[in-house]
Amino acid sequence: MSTEVVEPTTDQALLGDESVWTGRIFSDGWTDAPATIEVTEPATGEVIGSAGLGDPETVARAASSAARAQRDWAAAPATERVAVVRRAAELLERHRAELIRWLVRESGSIPPKADNEISASIGQFEMAASLISHPLGHVLPSLTPGRTSMARRVPVGVVGVICPWNFPVVLPARSVGPALALGNAVVLKSDPNTPVSGGVLTARIFEEAGLPDGVLHVICGGAEVGQALVEDPNVRMISFTGSTATGRKVGEGAGRNLKRVVLEMGGNSPLVVLEDADVEAASSAGAWGSFLHQGQICLAASRHLVHESIVAEYLEALVERAGRLPVGNPDTDEVALGPIINQKQVERVQGIVDRSVSQGATALTGGTHEGLFYSPTVLGDVTPSMPAFTDELFGPVAPVTSFRDDADAVELANATDYGLAAAVQSGSEQRAAAVAEQLRAGMVHINDQTVNEEPPAPFGGFGASSNGGHFGGVANLELWTEWQWVTSRPKAEPFPF
């Protein structure tokens, strides 16, 4: 794994030129924001910018402008809309180095994670552009002679997109790209932890790509701004990515306002290691699944369920791997783990670890932090009642629980309200498939780990991880459009009345 820090090239204008966005939001061009927020580098605590912060009034103005702009945008030829999204993909590629640097500094990503995130975002835009080649409806048989009857998909209108900070470029991209390509306007609310990589850069990309004014608004803000988006009458749909607790509030508000809502929320994903698994490969999958991006991934391997006959060997291998992973500033040092996003998150992770240890778990390595730098942690002897088993971790912690047989493994894996991802490792693909078949998760991977995403695949979870919507591929056609029945007759005919 290369962890080389990529410097932006100097032969091109900077996408994130501060003079454009400092103290501003993107709403019908760059306009002065009612407040500002410091952009902080978690690894050093250094303030690296001052972004604009929105408020409920800003949201109301943006949503009203978006509703006006959406009508012309939906009426524009599909080729025109798709050309903008394609150019956005090209711009991501052209400015890749600069985008990576922002992700490294602002979100604490290591460069390979950031690089991968930009590739994933390009994939999302390319996938969105390909939607143009899919049929948007059906010609229906009609019961009325001479009548043409069609079912067609039409854009939803203005979509409010709310995203967290952990993958601040690709999470907006997977909503904004297809929503725009299919004729919607978007108001994106970025997270206050990542105003630049989570908002400013997406705004700049679409500005440079030639998106007409008013079709995309980008406003940074917290709960109050998010809630304003959920309540706004001009916003017809909410796409929310974040924690299950917030998702419930967003879902309630959207329901009260009769809005379509897609909620992609937390996870507590199991990695099941059967007794015939290759322990080296499985422990490497486990380390990747739990420690990548400091474990701050919804899909992270949150529970390692390992057959009792190999659990000692597995723990030894995992501890050894954890010990090899350097932690530090990803902008200046070659590290495998960067900082946790903020102090509150560190304390949350430490609380889960401490309470689990006090209930009998064993911290075989890690379990401590220096500032925001949390050591890769392996917890042995974890039982289903401990917080490390029941709660979403969102930190670099691998809790390991042993099981007796395949049926026991399935029961443990499903002993959660969440249902985002799951993975099974076995020497026999067939046997792993038989276990995988019984796992209640929206994304299941055999002889792999839990952190996977591909633009053509439907991304979504079951249970408390999702309200049933899916991002990606042809699932996008359904998500960002709704049915309309259209009939037509050559001329109007009289009725009996």
Binding letters toward ligand NAD, positions 393-422, x by CB under 6 A: -x-------------------------x--
Site residues for ligand NAD, window 417-456 (CB under 6 A)? Answer: 420
Residue 87 CB, shortest distance to ligand NAD, in Å, is: 26
Residue 111's H or E segment, with its range, is helix 111-130
CB of 248 to ligand NAD, least distance (A): 10
Examine residue 376 and tell whether it contacts ligand NAD (CB under 6 A): no
Among 49, 160, 168, 226, binds ligand NAD (CB under 6 A): 226
Q: Which helix (H) or strand (E) holds 317?
A: helix 311-323
CA nearest to 170, candidates 459, 395, 464:
459
Query: Is residue 162 near ligand NAD by the rule CB under 6 A?
Result: yes
Stretch that binds ligand NAD, among 84-92, 142-150, 156-164, 326-334 (CB under 6 A): 156-164
Q: Which of 250, 277, 435, 464 binds ligand NAD (CB under 6 A)?
A: 250
Residue 223 as a binder of ligand NAD (CB under 6 A): the answer is: yes
Pick the binder of ligand NAD from 33, 51, 265, 277 (CB under 6 A).
265
Within 8 A by CB and 6+ apart from 75, the residues are none
Q: Among 109-117, 160-168, 331-339, 367-375, which window interacts with ligand NAD (CB under 6 A)?
A: 160-168
Q: Which helix (H) or strand (E) holds 138?
A: strand 137-140
298 catalytic? Reply is yes
CB of 448 to ligand NAD, least distance (A): 18
Q: Does residue 16 bind ligand NAD (CB under 6 A)?
A: no
Shortest reach from residue 230's CB to ligand NAD, in Å:
6
Rounded CA gap, 159 and 67, in Å?
10
- Distance in Å, CB of 329 to ligand NAD, minimum: 22
> Looking at 41, 98, 298, 453, which residue is catalytic?
298
Residue nearest to ligand NAD (CB): 226
> Should residue 269 be labelled a site residue for ligand NAD when binding is judged by CB under 6 A?
no
460/259 Cα distance (integer angstroms): 19
**Residue 408 neighbours by CB under 8 Å, 6+ apart:** none
Regarding 331 and contact with ligand NAD (CB under 6 A), the answer is no
Backbone φ and ψ of 122, nearest 5°: -60, -45
Q: Per-residue DSSP letters for 409-452? A: HHHHHT-SSEESEEEEE-S-HHHHHHHHTT---SEEEESS-S--
222 binds ligand NAD (CB under 6 A): yes
Residue in 117, 232, 331, 392 binding ligand NAD, rule: CB under 6 A: 392
User: What is the rounded distance in angstroms from the CA atom of residue 183 to the CA atom of residue 73?
Assistant: 6
**Is residue 191 a contact point for ligand NAD (CB under 6 A)?**
yes
Contact status, residue 327 vs residue 365, Cβ threshold 8 Å: no
User: What distance in Å separates the CA atoms of residue 104 and residue 369, rounded to the nearest whole number?
Assistant: 20
Is 67 among the residues that bind ligand NAD (CB under 6 A)?
no
Nearest CA to 329 out of 344, 339, 317 is that of 339
By the 8 A CB rule, do 131 and 471 touch? no
Closest Cα partner for 272 from 405, 173, 393?
A: 405
Contact residue for ligand NAD among 246, 283, 350, 375 (CB under 6 A): 246
For residue 267, state whether it binds ligand NAD (rule: CB under 6 A): yes
Asked whether position 124 contacts ligand NAD by CB under 6 A, the answer is: no
User: Minimum CB separation from ligand NAD for residue 96, in Å?
Assistant: 22
Nearest to 218 by CA among 21, 481, 14: 21
How many other C-beta atoms can be found within 10 angstroms of the C-beta atom of residue 492? Answer: 6
Question: Cβ neighbours of residue 161 under 8 Å, at least 6 residues apart?
Answer: 172, 175, 176, 179, 186, 187, 188, 189, 238, 239
264 is known as an active-site residue = yes
Separation in Å, CA 180 to CA 88, 170, 183, 377: 11, 15, 5, 42
Pick the stretch among 70-78, 142-150, 262-270, 485-493 that binds ligand NAD (CB under 6 A): 262-270
How many CB atoms are located within 10 Å of the residue 53 CB?
A: 20
Out of 106, 117, 264, 453, pick the active-site residue. 264
Q: Does 178 bind ligand NAD (CB under 6 A)?
A: no
Of 28-36, 50-58, 82-90, 236-244, the window that binds ligand NAD (rule: CB under 6 A) is: 236-244
Stretch of 64-72, 138-146, 240-248, 488-496 contacting ligand NAD, by CB under 6 A:
240-248
CB 438, CB 410: distance < 8 Å: yes
Residue nearer to ligand NAD on the CB measure, 298 or 317? 298
**Contact call for residue 242 and ligand NAD (CB under 6 A):** yes
Q: Exposed/middle/buried for 245, CB within 10 Å: 0-12, 13-18, 19+?
A: exposed
Nearer to ligand NAD, 17 or 252 (CB): 252
| Binding flag, residue 239, ligand NAD (CB under 6 A) | no
Residue 301 lies near ligand NAD (rule: CB under 6 A): no
> Smallest distance from the beta carbon of 241 to ligand NAD, in angstroms?
5
Nearest to 295 by CA among 241, 246, 348: 348
Best CA proximity match to 393, nearest among 497, 489, 268: 268
Q: Does 241 bind ligand NAD (CB under 6 A)?
A: yes
Q: Known catalytic residues?
A: 264, 298
**Chain residues that interact with ligand NAD, rule: CB under 6 A:** 162-166, 171, 189, 191, 222-223, 226-227, 230, 241-243, 246, 249-250, 264-267, 298, 392, 394, 420
